[in-house]
Structure 1
Amino acid sequence: MKLKVIGAISAVIILIAACQNEESIEFRRYYSSGALVYQSHCQNCHGENGEGLSALIPPLTDSNYLIKNKTGLACSIKSGLKGPITIKGKTFDDAMPANDLSPIEIAQVLTYIGNSFGNKLNTIDEQEVQTDLTKCK
């Protein structure tokens, strides 16, 4: 009897795994890798939950800001960010340092940030980041 139950559960798991589409698998791959990039390169300043640091470091919890500035996010990560930005009515004017991340790492961390902390931006893939990086000023 136990073998039949285990077999049935295994069959359901295999069926669920087989029903996942390529897009869903890619999203999870970018997201989970992005979590690791975030932990090692961003979390120290932006916080474990993207809350930022008081008036010094902006939070990453504002989907509106992320959506409005989506094409510039890769440049901000790669080249750093200088000058004031306003998020949720608060102005932040401290510089963010440049990061020596590869385009795939930038895509991964943007997918993670864009789908964590209350944000919903879907997958930001390496090709999109490559395109955005060519437009950096």
Structure 2
Amino acid sequence: MKFILVFFLACLSVFFMNLNSISSNENYNDLQEKELKQSINDGKSIYADFCMRCHLPNGEGVENTYPPLAKSNWLKNKREASIKSVKFGLSGEIIVNGKTYNNRMSAMGLSDQEVADVMNYIMHNFGNSDYNLKQVTKAEVSKLEKK
């Protein structure tokens, strides 16, 4: 009888530990979602201040001059290069959605957090949200070197 009681209490303990773990994961996911929404919101104003004049309000860019950010295969397939272009600027030839662009984008002087925010805004707007791209974090941006 003691064995059954001890076994029952052990099972009950494991059950409640798993229940607490599930609750913690849900809280963590809620926190991540809240942080992403805030980052996207912050990125919207950064986009308006630094990116919109070339890439336009709808992210479609200017054909043969400024590449589109809207439904951009370059953003989808070249994550690190995309982030570096915002952080350090970009020069040289790139191909976006099958079209060649060869212009210069200056570094904007943004902080790593601002780079993450504007990348999250771009990657979750202009038709790019269909790509289900992972959130860009300040830590990810800060690890990138110019090279």
- Indicate the TM-score class for this superposition, using the shorter chain for normalisation: 0.7 to 0.9
Point out where structure 2 has 5 or more consecutive residues left out of the alignment: 1-26
Percent identical residues: 36
Cα separation, 1, equivalents of 2:61 and 2:34: 30
Q: Runs of at least 4 residues of structure 1 off by over 6 A?
A: none
> In the TM superposition, what whole-angstrom CA distance separates every residue of 1:36-71 from its partner, at most 9, and x where no partner exists?
100000001000010001211000023431122101
> Whose RCO is larger (CA < 8 A, sep 6+)?
1
Structure 1 unaligned spans of 5+:
1-17
Which residue of structure 1 aligns with residue 46 of structure 2? 37
Q: Secondary structure at the match of 2:116?
A: helix
For 1:79 and 1:21, how far apart are their aligned partners in 2? 32
Matches within 5 A, 1:43-58: 43-58=52-67
Q: Which has the higher strand share?
A: 2
- Pair member with larger Rg: 2
Give, in whole Å, the separation in 1 of the partners of 2:37 and 2:86: 21
Q: Is structure 2 residue 90 aligned with structure 1 residue 64?
A: no
Contact 1:62/1:87, CA 8 A, preserved across alignment: no
Task: Tell me the equivalent position of 1:6.
Answer: none
Paired residue total = 117
TM-score (norm 1): 0.79
TM-score by length of 2: 0.74
RMSD over aligned CA atoms reads: 1.6
Residue 107 of structure 1: CA displacement? 0.2
